[in-house]
Chains A and B, each alone.
Chain A
Amino acid sequence: MTTRVKKYFDIILNHMERSSTFYVWVSILVVVAGLALYAILMSLIYSLEIFEFSIHVIWVTMVSNYVFLVVSSTGLCIVTSLGHVFGMQRYEQVAKRGVFLALVTIIFGMISIGAHLGHPERAMIFNLLTPNFYSAMWWMGALYTFYIVFIAIEFWLLARDDLNERSEQSAGLGKNIYSLLAIKKLDKLPDTMLKNHKLLKSVGAAALISGLSAHNTLGALFGHVEARALWHGSYYPIYFLLSASFCGYAWLLAVSIATYKIKKEGIPEDYKSLIFEMAQVLALLLGAGLLFTAYKMSFGLFTPEKVKPILLFLKGPFSPAFWLFEIAIGTVLPIPILLVAAKQKNSWRAGRLDHGSAGRLCNAIQLW
């Protein structure tokens, strides 16, 4: 038994190339995950105050975590669906990575909001037993449940070929596990469903529709809160969809380039071309996001009930975070960098830019 465990452990380590970076990275992740688990446990046993939850500010750390993670997941779903739903084959290069990230971010997003509830088990039981169809929050939970199911099936369909391949390459227990994960029996089905990607297209479309609906409902949930003048109105559902789009592009650009850099592999030409194109689209979306923020702030200044919260951002205690992170670093600075990269793409294609410079531009894109 011990020998077998040691053998599998060795296989895993060999897959990770036994690099020191890997150990450092895993150690950091283990420490952070341990701290998070401790905080969640303490919040359930003692008090939600560990998340800075208070009667004055009720939507705090875990809600902002949740919003960031589900915005990212929806955005990743939007970008990847350009490939297998809208027929842009070049986007299929990022499909598996994107759908995997979408699945991971939505699962951790749901864990965040579950921890915020204090008694997540009650939500699970009573959402089913006594649903309130007039509640945006109920709809958000229901739609995200559908979204998780669809995105998980989508990832499985994308990963199935690899699982089949691995089962053929492996032997013994590994072979059985991979065969089980790939559900080999499905290979006996008529070719049309799995091999023509029809099922993938349908599931991808279902994930996109449920994801957009759920995300819109999340935005509407903020928009419905009359007690918070800054959020109240039709602005947030639309802005949430826009922010999901640029978040999805940013995630995919950063993670794709980082993966190739960590693996010390060159980015394939087609992939590099897609990265430059994505940078261009991201710059456009960030520009639209900047216009939305300008509209929110200027419109708010002329709306009596919104003036006070708006001033908190413009020249109050939140102003350093707003001007430095949201506006300067998050929106304004990346646009010229991404646009310069997109412009340089043409030089690179025409052979006027060497691969080293293209790589440096990729780094610049990743940085932002």
Chain B
Amino acid sequence: MGLKEAGGTDMLTILPSQPEDLGLITPPQKVINQNPDKLRITGTGFMGASVLAGLMYTYATLTQEKEKKHRDNAG
């Protein structure tokens, strides 16, 4: 029968042909959630999490002497 007009006008549009064939310009389809920039942003975060885990490990390694003292006191 026809397509409901976008934009909430509640008008029915009946076209005899495809819009492109009638010379009507249609906007390009937006490809949702496939933006490489989003991968870059998320990837940076994971890199940050890895750096944080590395820093925690370094902190544990650098304070081994203090840890040994604590264990001696506790034991």
User: Which residues from chain A sit less than 8 Å from chain B, CB to CB?
Assistant: 78, 81-82, 86-90, 132, 134-136, 208, 212-213, 215-217, 219-220, 223-224, 233-234, 237-238, 240-242, 245, 270, 273, 277, 281
**Mostly helix, strand, loop or mixed at chain A's interface?**
helix
Using Cβ atoms and an 8 Å threshold, which residues of chain A touch B60? 82, 86-88
A81-B56, A82-B59, A216-B46 as given contacts; A90 in contact with B41, CB under 8 Å: no
**Contacting chain A: which of B5-13, B17-25, B30-38?**
B30-38
Question: Is there an interface contact between A241 and B52, defined as CB atoms closer than 8 Å?
Answer: yes
Could you give 10 example pairs across A and B, Cβ below 8 Å? A82-B56, A86-B60, A87-B67, A89-B67, A223-B41, A224-B38, A233-B41, A237-B48, A238-B45, A270-B74
Using Cβ atoms and an 8 Å threshold, which residues of chain B touch A90? 66-67, 70
Contact with B63, one of A88, A136, A208 (Cβ below 8 angstroms): A88
Q: A186 vs B49: C-alpha distance in the bound complex, in angstroms?
A: 35
Using Cβ atoms and an 8 Å threshold, which residues of chain A touch B74? 89, 270
Cβ of B52 to closest chain A Cβ, rounded Å: 5
**Mostly helix, strand, loop or mixed at chain B's interface?**
helix
Chain B contacts with A in 47-73, Cβ cutoff 8 A: 48-49, 52-53, 56-57, 59-60, 63, 66-67, 70-71, 73
Question: Is there an interface contact between B32 and A212, defined as CB atoms closer than 8 Å?
Answer: no
The chain B residue with its CB closest to the CB of A205 is: B53
How many Cβ-Cβ contacts under 8 Å join chain A to chain B? Answer: 83
Using Cβ atoms and an 8 Å threshold, which residues of chain B touch A277? 66
Quick one: which of A134, A135, A216, A273 has the most chain B CB within 10 A? A216
Quick one: which of B33, B42, B73 has the most chain A CB within 10 A? B42
Q: A233 vs B45: C-alpha distance in the bound complex, in angstroms?
A: 11
Using Cβ atoms and an 8 Å threshold, which residues of chain A touch B45? 216-217, 219-220, 223, 234, 237-238, 240-241
Question: Is there an interface contact between B49 and A216, defined as CB atoms closer than 8 Å?
Answer: yes
Question: Is there an interface contact between B53 and A212, defined as CB atoms closer than 8 Å?
Answer: yes
Q: Known contacts A86-B59, A234-B40, A240-B45; can you find 5 more A-B pairs with CB under 8 A?
A: A86-B56, A89-B71, A224-B42, A238-B48, A242-B48
Quick one: which of A86, A208, A270 has the most chain B CB within 10 A? A86
Using Cβ atoms and an 8 Å threshold, which residues of chain A touch B56? 78, 81-82, 86
Using Cβ atoms and an 8 Å threshold, which residues of chain A touch B59? 82, 86, 88, 281
Cβ of A344 to closest chain B Cβ, rounded Å: 17
The chain B residue with its CB closest to the CB of A244 is: B52
Using Cβ atoms and an 8 Å threshold, which residues of chain A touch B48? 216, 237-238, 241-242
Quick one: which of B38, B45, B74 has the most chain A CB within 10 A? B45
Cβ of B18 to closest chain A Cβ, rounded Å: 29
Question: Is there an interface contact between B67 and A136, defined as CB atoms closer than 8 Å?
Answer: no
Cβ of B61 to closest chain A Cβ, rounded Å: 9
Contact with A224, one of B34, B41, B70 (Cβ below 8 angstroms): B41
Question: Is there an interface contact between B34 and A212, defined as CB atoms closer than 8 Å?
Answer: no
The chain A residue with its CB closest to the CB of B46 is: A216
Q: A270 vs B42: C-alpha distance in the bound complex, in angstroms?
A: 40
Cβ of A219 to closest chain B Cβ, rounded Å: 5
Question: Is there an interface contact between A238 and B67, defined as CB atoms closer than 8 Å?
Answer: no
Q: A238 vs B44: C-alpha distance in the bound complex, in angstroms?
A: 7
